[in-house]
Structure 1
Amino acid sequence: MTPAKNDPRSGSVISTMMAVLRCFDSEHRHLGVVEIAEGTGLHKSSISRLMSTLEAERLVERDPVTRRYSLGLGLLSVAGTLLADLDVRRAAYPLLVELADRTAESCSLMVWTGDQAVCVEQVPSSQTIKHTTAIGTTYGTTASSSVKTFLAELGRAEVEALLTGSRLELQGHRSPARLHEDLARVAREGVAVNDGDTDPGEVGVGAPVRDHRGVAVATVLVSAPRYRTDAQRLAELAEHVRWAATEITRGLGGQSVPRAVGQG
């Protein structure tokens, strides 16, 4: 019998690779070489060599203990253009839920309008005393952590233009020079902090979400009452926000790499 066009035994490298990747599904997330060989009809040695290649390309990942494989994050990079077209709210929501569970604080997704940050999704804290950001809420001051996250992506001249020709208000910084110093730190560290600068009773921590082009398309924001957010807790929130932003970025086919854009 002549092998079908998509039969891995047809000799096509692409067909073989796709046959291997299709072995993984919701019921078979972790597979060993023997299982993949049985599923494709290929010899174990051939599968072993192919899996090494796929692992090098990050299309699969191997558990160092069980030696079993699972699909890798490299697949997201391949599909980045398609994934970036998906609603960022849909991609972010499960991570916002988990972030709210991890931090026990209110978590939001913010996007940039050009001179303001606007909330497009929120998961409120389960605690009685909390700070929430209703969908549609906008922030237009440089003290806002979400605004700083977006401004840190811009060049100095672009920021100056926004300060003089838009609704953006200089707040929490004594001068534009101090703002630029703060934005350079945000770009280096990948996280922005608002420690009571817009509201003495509130703390906000934000981190950028990037698409497959490396462009910041949203910000993950955690808001918390300041009375229960000391320096150690603030550092913990920053780590949690970085984690969530990184995971959402991966879901969009991007990579979270802090970049000092135009702030030199």
Structure 2
Amino acid sequence: MRPIFRGPVPIDENGQMKVVSDYKDWRMDLVERIGNYCSYCDMVLNDSPQVEHVVPKNPQPNQPQGSLLAWDNMVLACGPCNRAKSNNPCGTDTHYLPDFHNTILAFETKNISYRNKNACIITVKSGLTFAQATKGQNTVNLCQLDKVVVTPRATDLRWKYRFEALQMAKYWRNEWDSWGQTTPAFLRLLQTAAISKGFFMVWYEVFSEVPTVVKALIEAFPNTAVDCFDEQQGYRLKRRNPADF
């Protein structure tokens, strides 16, 4: 789950803060700000990115209601994540959210085999405290980030596309180690491959020990939250919130 910076409210053609009457009118602004990627599973959204309310606009009973139209309550989501999340509660005190936390500190990818298929899922990062792990698992459950469905009619293929991204990232890492680091054009090619395939966290994990590439990935994926990476320490992860991730 890539940490993102949504930024201030977009400005309209008259130089004023944009106002919308339908939350879906934020779609292109979100694509331009944070890229055409699901904010929860990191999957590239080549078609039909869904505008998703971080705090549900129609919450469950006795749960807080999120703003219907506010820019600060909007992210992009894929169909599977949006359907799974639905109107379930998801505050920053109970879940790790990409626009508030450094979510890479809370999650990691895991390669598994299910019904003879290779799958890559998102799981809670090992080594967390009980409270952190609980909060992380709440988030995994919220969007079913560890779900693998292998049936002839399956439409939720996040696990498959993430595995393909992992294989691609490993290929590029081998190329980097072999010859890429001595070729100026290599980073531009790698950036193109990464943003076309999506799944930022997969690429980060594969190249986490290569600051030059991590920097290139941060720059390639629009509005990745730069305050989640310590430039002075080779772009190591750092907390976004002192008391939390």
Structure ranking higher on relative contact order (CA contacts 8 Å, 6+ apart): 2
TM-score normalised per structure 2: 0.27
- What is the TM-score with the length of structure 1 in the denominator? 0.25
Between structures 1 and 2, the one with greater strand share: 1
Whichever of the two has the greater Rg, that structure is 1
